[in-house]
Amino acid sequence: MPQSQYVWPYPEWIAHRGAGRAAPENTLAAFRLGASHGFRMMEYDVKLTADDVPVLLHDDTLERTSTGTGRAADFRYAELARHDFGAWHSPIYAGEPIATLYGIAAYTRANGIYSNIEIKPTTGMETHTGERIAMLARQLWEGADQPPLLSSFSEQALAAARDAVPELPRALLIEEELPPDWRERIRWLECKGLNLNGRYLTREIVQQVRDAELTLAVWTVNDPERAREFLDWGCNAIITDEIVTMAPGQA
């Protein structure tokens, strides 16, 4: 599939997990806070419950960001809804429920916010998660001026998303250094671009990716000078936790 002609249609600044560390990650409260600081695009992690409900959660397990314990994928949505996903962060967020992709689609669309949905499958559920999230994204963003960008570290999930809904834009996430065969992987997955770890990014890599006519978003960049440097090198977007010091228009 030719990668040319695709121009990054999203903002330059993306709030990581809704509002970085300023609010409980991946909750609607975080999205509202990120938006209040001027962010017009959010990155967030989505996986499936036991009854196939798409929920926002980074880890496989519940302990770190909720009052629950165990693997989220072992519980039905109604069971997860009993837990508190905000109190771990600070008392003002106590009572915050687990966010669903349904609610987040409604909020972001109503407020002109773009989405980078990171498909974060529970280990072992890669293909089903990629397929289902892509199908839900198509349905929930039908008629939107821009569809969500789907990204994942899981090539299995991205391949499933490609097969289910080929028209949705996809980006491959790479945890550490770029593997030597990155161009082949991108071609096979029919991705529009790469979402790379800023720790391993060099000017040469940016040049190679842009020469391949691929988009490039960088995570998680919390230093404004570093972010500016990445943009100057030709990166399309910065994914940041620092929603206050790096609010769009400030950094």
Residue nearest to ligand G3P (CB): 219
Euclidean distance between CA atoms 116 and 218, whole angstroms: 12
Nearer to ligand G3P, 35 or 237 (CB): 237
Which CA distances in Å does 78 have to 27, 51, 60? 17, 9, 18
β-pair partners for 41:
114
Footprint (CB under 6 A) of ligand G3P, residues 103-142: 118
Q: Which one of ligand G3P, Mg ion, none is in contact with 57 (Cβ closer than 5 to 8 A by kind)?
A: none
Active site residues: 16, 58
Quote the tokens at residue 2.
């030719």
Euclidean distance between CA atoms 158 and 189, whole angstroms: 7
Footprint (CB under 6 A) of ligand G3P, residues 180-219: 195, 219
Q: What is the nearest approach in angstroms of ligand G3P to the Cβ of residue 173?
A: 6
CA dihedral 182, 43, 157, 65 (to 10 degrees): 120
Widest Cα–Cα separation across the chain: 50
Q: What is the nearest approach in angstroms of ligand G3P to the Cβ of residue 27?
A: 15
| CB-CB contact of 86 with 22 (8 Å) | no
If binding means CB under 6 A, how many residues of this protein chain bind ligand G3P? 10
Binding marks (x or -) toward ligand G3P, 14..33, rule CB under 6 A?
--x-----------------
Euclidean distance between CA atoms 107 and 29, whole angstroms: 11
Footprint (CB under 6 A) of ligand G3P, residues 55-94: 58
Q: What is the nearest approach in angstroms of ligand G3P to the Cβ of residue 157?
A: 13
Q: What is the nearest approach in angstroms of Mg ion to the Cβ of residue 211?
A: 27
β-pair partners for 54:
48
If one asks whether residue 173 binds ligand G3P (CB under 6 A), the answer comes out as yes
Among 10, 13, 43, 57, binds ligand G3P (CB under 6 A): 43
| CB-CB contact of 141 with 121 (8 Å) | no
Q: Which one of ligand G3P, Mg ion, none is in contact with 173 (Cβ closer than 5 to 8 A by kind)?
A: ligand G3P
Q: What is the nearest approach in angstroms of ligand G3P to the Cβ of residue 65?
A: 12
Euclidean distance between CA atoms 234 and 77, whole angstroms: 41
Please tell me what DSSP assigns to residue 96: P
Residues that bind Mg ion (CB under 5 A): 45, 118
Which residues of the shown chain bind ligand G3P in the complex (CB under 6 A)? Answer: 16, 43, 45, 58, 118, 151, 173, 195, 219, 239
